């Protein structure tokens, strides 16, 4: 009986791990595709999918046939004993020996490509050109699927990346510090109106930030803060404080009261208790909120567009502008997308061990 229960448990664990692994693999496929595509030359991207960088079979050009000027390309064309029209040659004609003859370009080229299906190894032509073009902001040149050279004005994504850092880092640290002080006060200090003020803060969580954009923008215009980093720092701090205060309050209120009372008896002030005890013990909750706030600020488009505009555009604004201007240039889009996602991935993976502990803050007592 015990062996049967053990076998069922092992089988259950196997299927759980299998499903979770499958979900992770499915989730990673688009990211891997974007990563590989961002390193491929533009002409390869237009011709084939990103999976072709791995060993596979494909039609490899082995020869070219150039027709004489005497051949009438408007009528039936005979090549190697096979007579087909231009449209049929353009679609590709497979020979008995496995080779395929395909018309290259339009009728004026008078050229046909002879290809054979062969195994192709790992791609060796991956490079960083796409990243240099996206981050540099200079005039760029690349080739399309027909081999034509295209010249465009680049997008300075490196400047937008720095602007996003300038918005995200202070916008994450400021509300965390203020909310930590507020949560400590609500959890451990007695003062008049504490419950009322805390109820108001929790109630603010249900208010959509969109309804506050216009009033805040009007005040910023009067104060000269519109289009400045200080203005967007204050806006993000105000939008993030209710959630940060509520989350940290739930965690700090579960800390052992005896520990804080012992420190107070030993002569420690409230500020010393907060710095030496509360902050070190609240690292899981602080890190959990830091993930939320950082990802929200980094991926924010609306608030950045309203309070900063395109003068100090962030990564989200720059990528959206890139989609509008160069939506057909996949080599630029994929590299820009990976530049925009790499830092949030690093932050999440670096702080994920605190994530669940922070989310469970205050849910279990005793």
* Helix (DSSP H) and strand (DSSP E) numbers for the chain: 15, 8
Q: What is the pLDDT of residues 231-248, one digit of tens each?
A: 999 999 888 899 889 888
- Residue 282 φ then ψ, to 5°: -100, 15
Residue-level pLDDT at 208: 84
Please give the helix or strand (H or E) that residue 93 lies within, else none.
strand 93-94
Strand-pairing partners, residue 60, are 116
DSSP class of 97: T
- Residue 218 φ then ψ, to 5°: -65, -40
Q: What is the pLDDT of residues 22-59, one digit of tens each?
A: 999 998 898 888 888 888 887 778 777 888 888 878 77
Pair 127, 37: CB distance under 8 Å: no
Pair 140, 131: CB distance under 8 Å: no
- The owner of tokens 């451990």 is 188
Neighbours of 353 (CB within 10 A): 10
| Residue 324 confidence (pLDDT) above 50 | yes
| Residue 366 confidence (pLDDT) above 50 | no
| Residue 365 confidence (pLDDT) above 50 | no
pLDDT level of residue 340 (50, 70, 90 thresholds):
confident
Q: What distance lies between CA 306 and its chain's CA centroid? A: 22
Residue 53 corresponds to which tokens in the numbers above?
């960088």
d(CA 16, CA 213): 45
Pair 235, 300: CB distance under 8 Å: no
pTM: 0.72
Q: Which of the residue ranges 116-120, 153-157, 187-191 would you say has the lowest mean pLDDT?
A: 153-157
Residue 158 corresponds to which tokens in the numbers above?
């490196």
Residue with the bigger pLDDT between 21 and 336: it is: 21
């Amino acid at each position: 009986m015990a062996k049967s229960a053990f076998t069922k448990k092992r089988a259950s664990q196997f299927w759980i791990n299998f499903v979770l692994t499958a979900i992770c693999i499915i989730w990673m496929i688009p990211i891997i595709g974007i990563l590989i595509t961002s390193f491929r030359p533009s002409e390869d991207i237009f011709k084939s999918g990103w999976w072709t960088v791995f060993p596979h079979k494909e039609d490899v050009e082995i020869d070219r046939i150039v027709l004489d000027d005497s051949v009438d390309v408007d009528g039936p064309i005979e090549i190697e004993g096979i007579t087909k029209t231009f449209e049929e040659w353009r679609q590709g004609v497979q020979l008995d020996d496995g080779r395929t003859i395909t018309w290259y370009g339009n009728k004026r080229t008078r050229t046909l490509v002879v290809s054979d299906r062969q195994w192709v190894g790992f791609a060796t032509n991956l490079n960083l050109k796409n990243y240099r073009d996206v981050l540099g902001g200079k005039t760029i040149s690349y080739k399309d699927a027909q081999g034509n050279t295209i010249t465009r004005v680049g997008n300075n994504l490196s400047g937008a990346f720095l602007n996003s850092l300038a918005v995200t880092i202070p916008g994450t640290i400021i509300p965390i510090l203020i909310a930590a002080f507020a949560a400590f006060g609500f959890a451990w200090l007695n003062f008049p109106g504490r419950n009322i003020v805390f109820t108001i803060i929790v109630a603010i969580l249900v208010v959509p930030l969109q309804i506050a954009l216009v009033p805040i923008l009007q005040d910023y215009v009067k104060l000269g803060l519109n289009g400045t980093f200080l203005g967007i720092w204050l806006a993000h701090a105000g939008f993030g404080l209710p959630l940060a205060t509520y989350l940290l309050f739930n965690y700090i209120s579960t800390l052992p009261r005896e520990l804080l009372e012992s420190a107070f008896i030993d002569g420690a002030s409230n500020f010393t208790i907060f710095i030496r005890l509360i902050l070190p013990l609240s690292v899981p909750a602080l890190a959990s909120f830091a993930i939320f706030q950082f990802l929200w600020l980094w991926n924010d488009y609306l608030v950045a567009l309203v309070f900063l505009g395109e003068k100090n555009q962030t990564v989200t604004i720059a990528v959206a502008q890139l989609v509008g201007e160069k939506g057909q240039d996949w080599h630029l889009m994929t590299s820009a997308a990976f530049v925009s996602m790499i830092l949030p991935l690093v932050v999440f993976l670096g702080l994920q061990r605190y994530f669940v502990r922070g989310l469970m803050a205050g849910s279990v007592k005793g």
